[in-house]
Structure 1
Amino acid sequence: MARSVPITHGGQNLLNSVAALNGRVFDTDPVITYMLLDLSREERLAYLPTYWATLIKSALWNDALITEADGWKAASVLLPPGRYLDNAWSLLCAGFLDVLWRIGLPGLKRLWYEFSGMTDNAKRKGLHGQKRYYYVFSLGTEHEHRGKGLAKAIMRDHQRAAQADNLPIWLEATTPSSRGLYLSMGFEEVEEIVLGKGKVAADASLQPGGPGVPLWAMVWWPQSTPTSGS
């Protein structure tokens, strides 16, 4: 019998912990590496906790929920329905100008116009006009604790909340392994998106003519519940 995974929720009080964890678990993530392409590997690894702290702070300004599993072996950041990370005011309040200074205009173009533009197009396609949905901004597990069902336990927790509200969950899987996990949990793949095509390899290393970095736009729909008397 699988053990029950202890899960706790919080908000601003958990910012530093989840930012530090994300800095570790996304250290080789191709999409994050591509976003910070102009930094050296050493600069990127040193900057990741600050980068994540700024983005998560913006999410918290929009009422994000932070969830951790089994004593910070895995954690997620979940945006509630009707709240969006690209809210200009919350980004400014979170200190995004410092991020912009660090990544420069090329980084802003990759983050805002390339990533956000392509994922927004996928949302229009995959959500079929649904304006209210949960958004999994991040979900990661410490390297040494992967494969133990921790991310799955967190996602099940999110699915229960979404099911109770009869609303979908949207996310972008950034690795083949995370894509496989979400498919196994009932998510549908809406579209494969490729960033940096012709510029980088699949791992986001510079490669003229390279295939680019793939990610997968995915959606989970709540199960329909029978009406009384049916």
Structure 2
Amino acid sequence: MSKTPIPLTHGKDTLLEPVARLNGHVFDTDPVVTYMLLEMSEEERLAYLPTYWSTLVKSALLNDAIITEADGWKAASVLVPPGKYIDNAWKLLYAGFLSVLWRIGFSGLKERLWTEFSGMTDNAKKKGLHGQKLYYYIFSIGTEHEHRGKGLAKAIMRQHQKTARAEDVPIWLEATSPSSRDLYLSLGFQEIEEIILGKGKVNADATRQSGGSGVPLYAMVWWPKGTNAAL
């Protein structure tokens, strides 16, 4: 007997606050997010995460992102369509990103966000997309801790792959943990590069440590069948 399909719901602005709340839980110990908010204490960071994600997802929605939730908000994703880019300065400002920058601090903005994350991921895209300008971008995807291992994120990702395959464009993402990296590999993604954030300043869990190994980030791409750029 076949399994009952996992119910998925798609939407935009009306799903902003639910996905922000979910991401606040899902990414509570995520090393990349913790590194971006390095100046905050753990208590401050956990309290701020829903606001942080609300602002970031709003900027994605201003770039026509689609929010997909699985089985009553047990998991969700934010998908940015081809030709739209979340680093659009005016849309970031309109989304309220100045408040996020204020909390990150100037050094965090310059070093962690611009030089490290944006600079390194942009270089990885040049390497992995082979000049392809149109691609879907997984802005975020995550599952509530107690519902992991049930195939929820996989169901969402397969739906995104179906959409991308119909349009014959790739999907790009950055995995923030070895377990999510393994999930995407099982779905046919290729790892382009392991990026290290904060090397010499923090450990892999983003705790401050002089000479630390840094936080790993895995740049990955999925190509639909028949796309010649998949080399």
TM-score computed with the length of structure 1 as normaliser: 0.97
Deviation at 1:3, TM superposition (A): 2.8
Deviation at 1:103, TM superposition (A): 1.1
Q: Does 1:100 align with 2:117?
A: no
- Offset of residue 219 of structure 1: 0.1
1:53-78 Cα offsets, whole Å, 9 max, x none, are 10100000000000000000000000
Does residue 143 in structure 1 map to residue 145 in structure 2?
yes
The equivalent residue for 2:161 is 159
C-alpha distance in 2 between matches for 1:194 and 1:103 = 19
Task: Provide, for residues 167-207 of structure 1, a one-character-per-residue CA deviation record: whole Å limited to 9, x for no partner.
Answer: 00000000000000000000000000000000000000011
> In the TM superposition, what are the counterparts of 1:123-138 in structure 2 within 5 Å?
123-138=125-140
**Percent of aligned pairs with the same amino acid:** 76
Q: Does 1:69 align with 2:65?
A: no
Q: Which residue pairs with 1:183 in the alignment? A: 185
Paired residue secondary structure (1:19): helix
Extract unaligned runs of 5+ from structure 1: 226-230
- C-alpha deviation, 1:2, in angstroms: 3.0
SS in 2 for 1:147: coil
Q: TM-score, normalised by structure 2?
A: 0.96
- SS of alignment partner, residue 73 of structure 2: coil
* 1:175-214 to 2 correspondences below 5 Å: 175-214=177-216
1:38 counterpart residue number = 39
Give the SS at the match of 1:53: helix
Please say if 1:53 is aligned against 2:85. Answer: no
Q: Secondary structure at the match of 1:179?
A: helix
**Structure 2 CA distance, aligned partners of 1:224 and 1:122?**
22
CA distance in 1 between counterparts of 2:3 and 2:175 reads 25
Query: What RMSD, in angstroms, separates the aligned Cα atoms of the two structures?
Result: 0.8
Instruction: Give the SS at the match of 1:163.
Output: helix
Counterpart-to-counterpart distance in 2, 1:2 and 1:46: 38
Count how many residue pairs are aligned between Structure 1 and Structure 2: 225
The 3-state SS of whatever aligns with 2:68 is: strand
Q: Unaligned stretches of 5+ in structure 2?
A: none
Moved more, 73-82 or 106-115: 106-115
The equivalent of 1:170 in structure 2 is 172
Which residue of 2 is the match for residue 4 of structure 1? 5
